[in-house]
Amino acid sequence: MSDDAGRSGRPAAFFDLDKTIIARSSMFAFSRPFQANGLLTRKAMLRAAYTQFVYVLAGADHERMEEMRQMMSELVAGWDVAAVREIVNDTLHHVIDPMVYDEAVQLIAEHHDAGRDVVIVSASGEDVVRPVGELLGADHVIGTRVEVVDGRYTGEVTFYAYAENKAVAIRELAEERGYDLDASYAYSDSMTDVAMLETVGHPFAVNPDKELRRIARERDWPVLVFSRPVALRSRVPLPPAKPAIAALAVGGAVALGGVLWAGARRRRVTA
């Protein structure tokens, strides 16, 4: 439940992004263009694949998510922001056509019709989340931030939008924007977002993992099933193309590792 922040204001709706609004990771399509443009080395790809393998086998506890955060910090350190901006811009408007859940798009529209701001809260890089949020009509986004010095990523994560940090950021935004958190809504698929769900008066588990389903059952949180993914382009009009800096952090580790691991496995099978 929320604290005193924003109790006198209007409610908002907070959405996790990956597997809550979008049926796959928001970073899924970036691995191939990054590799093609020389940003991903073979060594980095193998390490990402191993990290994903451990994640799949053992789950996403805090220790393993910290390991993935550290891996991604080291991975992007030194990357040229201008080069990444160009790749992401091209990917967003020509390659990546995110598959969004139709139910999520409708729910976002319903919240807007009710006069509530919609906020996307994701562990993926803030500047990756922002253009996706714009396409979805979100009013604000909260994402992981990576430091940039002299036009390059240092690898220093200045804000990690994961677990309890999501709740902290939501409270700060509520105080800034005057949201009534007790009257607000939140949606997520993962047990790592329990703190985020607890921050509002109306939490919802969306396609929940096993642990979140158990928690939702114990706390009588509603469970929603989103099952109709549609092409984002078919649901919302695309704005003119514009640059978007990719603060590549944490959220991309799972998707990137999955792509690389699956690719390596296919090569072994067909060899």
Per annotation, catalytic residue among 16, 117, 180, 189:
16
Strand partners for 179: 10
For the question of residue 18 being annotated catalytic, the response is yes
Per annotation, catalytic residue among 18, 127, 189, 193:
18
Bridge-based pairing of strands 185-188 and 152-159 is unpaired
Token digits for 123? 């562990």
Bridge-based pairing of strands 117-125 and 12-15 is parallel
For the question of residue 16 being annotated catalytic, the response is yes
Query: SS3 breakdown of the chain: % helix, strand, coil, rounded to 5?
Result: 50, 20, 30
Describe the crossing of helices 42-58 and 62-76 by its angle, rounded to 10 degrees.
Answer: 170
Describe the crossing of helices 126-136 and 81-90 by its angle, rounded to 10 degrees.
Answer: 30
Token digits for 5? 């922040």
CA quadruple 48, 52, 53, 54: dihedral positive or negative? positive
CA distances from 171 to 35, 137, 168 (A): 38, 21, 5
- Whether 181 contacts 199, CB under 8 Å: yes
Catalytic positions, written as ranges: 16, 18
